[in-house]
Amino acid sequence: MTSQCGLQTFCKLCGLDSLKNVVIVTTMWDQVTAEEGSRHEQELMSSNDLFKPLMDGGATMMRHGRTAESATKAIDYLLGKSPTTTQIVRGLLREKMVLEETAAGDGDIASKPRSSLKGEQVIAVMGSTGVGKSSFIRDPMPPDVAKNVKVGHGLRSETNQVQPFPWVTEDGTRIELVDTPGFDDSREGVTDVQVLKMIATFLTERHGANSRLTGLIYIHRISDTRVGGTSQRNLRMFRKLCGTDSLKNVVIVTTMWDKVTPEEGLRREQELMSSSDLFKILLDGGATMMRHERTAESATKVINRLLGKKATTTQIVHEMMEETKILEETAAGGELRSDIEALLKRHQADMESVRNEMRESARDLVEDRRRTEQNMAKFSKELYELRQGIPMPLPSDPPPDYEFVNNFPAPETTCVVNYSNLLQLFKIHQAILAPAHSEFLGSVASGAAQFAIAVERSVGVVQQGLSTLKLVLTSQSVHSLRQFMKADPHPRVFTSGMWTKARDDMKILTNRTKAILSQYHKSRIPSMLWNTKAKRFDALNTILESMRDVVADMETMMKWWMPIIDALGKIEDATHRMRAGTGFNDNAVKVTLTRIIRALGSYCDAYSRCPEDIRRAVVGLPCN
């Protein structure tokens, strides 16, 4: 084994061009018989693992018999030769290699740990998602390395970062195939900007004497009936990354030939090669196009095509390391910036259109609400007048028997609790919603502040009516009761109207939330923004459910007021049948008034602290 390693090193030192100046001298002939020595000599000369390749290249074999004459004979043979330059000298002096880059400098490569290997032949593999980059990289590798390459079998990418896969070939060549994610990659959380940063970082780190970028492979599916937007985007970025000077180190590899007929594949190959929008510019600049047949042999053929190339410096590396440009100033960065700005401009126009539609919808809702309020006021007045009836001469009639409710339940404050929870949800998601929906957040905060004021006023009105009713109950005067029924606002509508308005306001906000969510379904958001969009979409869905709970709670409060309003209406009707100078002790009116006073008192107790709870919950949200 030691002799073979030494022989391999000797061959790498000399190179093919110097073999004609080589003499292989065999010694120790006195240690063997003549027949045995001749047989060993023939084996050395005929073995491809020993001296046959050297002798085929021009070397000579001679015997040394431990005499001055035999030694002089070998020397005299070489003195007649023209001077030669060995391979290692050419590498060090002419090609400016360091020792480890030369063929002899890396010694017995197969026996070294991979961490100690330097001077890899780096080949970057690029292309869109799903074209077969990972499969191509895996095909020529040894099994122990190939098992580390993940190959996707769906529409989603298995590659979300730059992944180098180094190995050593049987002849000692160190190769590093680099798998790269495609632009507009399908994997969530990886944007085109992040992909460009990863590729640029890798290429700049690999720019050096001990790790040379030997070539770049761009992979394209021959089975694609048309070159879509994603493929064109990847091709544009590849051109900007490489530049023109690196095209001689580029191989365009077409895959998926088993998916098309030979005639169809050939036609598409010609189209790709002849179109200025596709590969013609690259091929005219020195790139090569080859086919990959899903075999180790075809992949190895592509790699071998690049191994003989001189190392290249891509345009993005030249721009960043020699021209000291920042990433955005490079050709690739500028291309990506233009794409992003175009997408932002389009979506800003879409967002403005959504805002205009929402403003128009809001104006329509306001007008509908105004007409509804007018009709409600009109019909409430007509109903009141109908109940007033006409004066009847019944001064001595006792009040009729009325079917009053036995009791009024205490009001629930679930509405305020859910309203506060809704505002807390807006606070939790404020950071992600504010950039796109600041106006909407302001409307929510303003609506909450107005709701707190309305509840506070309703409690004040109820407390004022409660004080009056207590005096009426104490005096038991029909006249006082009639005066109470003429109060403004009318006792039957002073608070239930507030809850109706609060319910309608919350419905408007609910409809606005639905409109925003529908636009998230319709709009086309780029992959780089999808993660933010999904978070906003989920947040708005949660908020919408909370809004519906608040609307339902407000409708419950409207229903709570209905039996009280109905009882007050019956009491009002009863007062018109009573004699003005009489009292109403010991009848149904007194009992019902007592229960109404108890219900109004429970309303004040329940809701007197609620406005402050709402105001605390709204702190931190922007108000319009």
Q: Tell me phi and psi for residue 116, to 5 degrees.
A: -95, -5
Tokens 């009002």 -> residue: 572
Residues 199 and 347 reside in one and the same domain: no
101 belongs to a structural domain: no
Say how many C-beta atoms besides its own lie within 10 A of residue 502's C-beta: 23
Residues 128 and 233 reside in one and the same domain: yes
Residues 325 and 358 reside in one and the same domain: no
pLDDT of residue 251: 93
The dihedral region occupied by 620, where left means phi > 0, alpha psi between -120 and 50, and beta the remainder, is left
Residues 128 and 78 reside in one and the same domain: no
Q: How many helices (H) and strands (E) in the chain? A: 21, 8
400 belongs to a structural domain: no
Residues 82 and 132 reside in one and the same domain: no
- Per residue in 50-69, pLDDT tens? 888 888 888 899 998 888 88
Does residue 185 register a pLDDT over 70?
no
- Of 501, 476, 460, the closest CA to residue 591 belongs to 476
Cα distance between residue 39 and residue 1, in whole Å: 21
Residues 208 and 236 reside in one and the same domain: yes
Does residue 584 register a pLDDT over 90?
no
The pLDDT > 70 percentage for the chain reads 82
- Per residue in 515-553, pLDDT tens? 888 887 645 555 444 577 888 888 889 989 989 999 998
pLDDT of residue 402: 45
Residues 205 and 126 reside in one and the same domain: yes
pLDDT: is 447 or 117 the higher one? 447
The secondary structure of 446-482 as a DSSP string is: HHHHHHHHHHHHHHHHHHHHHHHHHHHHHHTBHHHHH
108 belongs to a structural domain: no
Average model confidence (pLDDT) for the chain?
A: 79
| CATH code of residue 256 | 3.40.50.300
CB 458 within 8 A of CB 495: yes
Cα distance between residue 564 and residue 490, in whole Å: 13
98 belongs to a structural domain: no
* pTM of the model as a whole: 0.42
Domain count across the chain: 4
Residues 237 and 351 reside in one and the same domain: no
Please give the biggest Cα pair distance in the chain: 164
Q: Quote the domain boundaries for residue 150.
A: 121-329
The dihedral region occupied by 309, where left means phi > 0, alpha psi between -120 and 50, and beta the remainder, is beta
In this structure, the strands spanning 288-291 and 211-221 are unpaired
Residues 348 and 267 reside in one and the same domain: no
Cα distance between residue 515 and residue 509, in whole Å: 10
pLDDT of residue 585: 55
Mean pLDDT of all residues in 260-275: 90
- Of 101, 243, 232, the closest CA to residue 174 belongs to 101
pLDDT of residue 22: 92
Three-class secondary structure of residue 178 per DSSP: strand
Residues 256 and 294 reside in one and the same domain: yes
- Of the three residues 329, 358, 374, the one that is the final residue of a domain is 329
Does residue 345 register a pLDDT over 50?
yes
- Of the three residues 329, 349, 373, the one that is the final residue of a domain is 329
In this structure, the strands spanning 23-26 and 60-63 are parallel
Residues 485 and 526 reside in one and the same domain: yes
Q: How confident is the model at residue 71 (pLDDT cuts 50, 70, 90)?
A: confident
390 belongs to a structural domain: no
CB 118 within 8 A of CB 100: yes
Cα distance between residue 175 and residue 126, in whole Å: 16
Residues 342 and 323 reside in one and the same domain: no
Does residue 153 register a pLDDT over 60?
no
